Copies of this chain bind each other. A is one copy, B any other.
């Protein structure tokens, strides 16, 4: 029998129970570990900025597996790809995000989780159904999938397809995030790129045929703009700043035994208490835990947590300004702002959040073994894309420094004697 998963981005994702590799994918999808990804939003708080960004890591992960399948189908027309490579590659593509927790970007900073470690841990833990599904096919399979994710698997192109500067993860998320946010920056010609992918058999690397150069340039630009306009959007970062303060305050109250509301024996309680989680505990953690607790905290007795939770729920987020690139000027300004925020009665520990976001659109050369580099074929030679493309060389890295604080403090801070805004 065939299972069909319809998808807003890729239309039909069909898996046949008769094909061993497809059958494994179906079983992996049905594990509770993979199902949990339904409850974790792909873009966390981005929906406060782009309201359509409500999609989960589940739909994304399915899409990543599907694109991997298409790429392997294409490569398989020209190169021999073993059944094992195919299974390992598809499983790794689908599971690459399995360790993500809720609002990873924020939670990992405050609560010192690391989704990448969790991913390999979940795959390698014999207690998980994911492990059991994989090992049911071949006892070495969980290990091989981890190797792919950690770039130790050979041939290297399997791992490169799963994560590099030209990987199926980005192939899916640029299109998906573009569609869902409505911010069309992330569109590029996936069909053409898939068509232009090839394998450099000698090195075992993924390469791009010369006729794919422009499409890859377009893809890198799409990524560049998505970072600038979506992932680093001021108001998204502002929502994250508020969430960060909420969690830091909750941890603080927890430590002091002053947090009134936290569900006893829940994963949230253990996370806030900074305890080590077992795999099975971690796997109970999702957006609902965080959102439900914040909603209850709007009734907390601690005025700071109560206020921050209220701001969050009603989307009265912090104001954000760009501040100077110069480090000394920046420090002086932040110091000044801290004083001003305090004077208004806000604890700067929670009401003044410095944020830094930086991106390098394409980095060459300095990654070992070419893991991340994009190789293109040109007149029979294989070259780094930066060596053949003006456009790629022209895309510059940048860092954004920002300061987030309550709107009530905005006029006071912006009128500071030290000029903050550079952009």
Contacts and interface: CB of A to CB of B under 8 A. Distances in A.
A160 B288 CA distance: 38
Contacts of A182: 6-8, 11-12
Contact of A288 (B4, B183, B295, B315): B295
A218 B214 contact: no
A391 B299 CA distance: 49
B55 A59 contact: no
A195 B12 contact: yes
A8 B180 contact: yes
Nearest to A176: B52
A6 B39 contact: no
A179 B32 contact: no
Interface in A37-53: 38-39, 47, 50-52
A159 to B, nearest CB: 27
A418 to B, nearest CB: 18
Given A189-B184, A221-B221, A394-B391, A263 B296 contact: yes
B54 A55 contact: yes
A357 interface: no
Nearest to A313: B32
The binding surface of chain A is classed by DSSP as helix
Given A185-B214, A225-B214, A266-B296, A12 B315 contact: no
Interface in A231-282: 263, 265-266
Nearest to A229: B214
A390 interface: yes
B191 A11 contact: yes
Interface in A136-185: 179-185
The copy count of this chain in the complex is 4
A214 B228 contact: yes
Contacts of A266: 296
A51 B32 contact: no
Given A4-B195, A8-B180, A12-B192, A51 B62 contact: yes
A128 interface: no
A70 B35 CA distance: 33
Contacts of A11: 182, 191
A329 interface: no
A411 interface: no
Contacts of A54: 38, 54-56, 59
A205 interface: no
A99 B51 CA distance: 20
Interface in A1-59: 4-8, 11-12, 14, 30, 32, 35, 38-39, 47, 50-52, 54-56, 58-59
Given A192-B12, A214-B228, A390-B394, A6 B50 contact: yes
A30 B315 CA distance: 8
A313 B5 CA distance: 19
A79 B38 CA distance: 36
Given A4-B195, A5-B51, A51-B38, A32 B288 contact: no
Interface in A302-334: 313-315
Instruction: Report the 10 A-B pairs with minimum CB-CB distance, sorted nearest first.
Output: A394-B394, A6-B182, A292-B292, A288-B291, A288-B292, A32-B314, A8-B52, A7-B182, A8-B182, A51-B59
Given A6-B52, A54-B55, A288-B288, 13 more contacts: A4-B195, A6-B181, A8-B52, A11-B191, A32-B314, A51-B59, A51-B62, A54-B56, A184-B189, A263-B296, A265-B299, A288-B291, A289-B295
Interface of A: 4-8, 11-12, 14, 30, 32, 35, 38-39, 47, 50-52, 54-56, 58-59, 62, 179-185, 187, 189, 191-192, 195, 211, 214, 218, 221, 225, 228-229, 263, 265-266, 284, 288-289, 291-292, 295-296, 299, 313-315, 390-391, 394-396
13 contacts: A5-B51, A6-B181, A11-B191, A12-B182, A35-B314, A51-B59, A52-B55, A54-B55, A288-B291, A390-B396, A391-B394, A391-B395, A394-B394
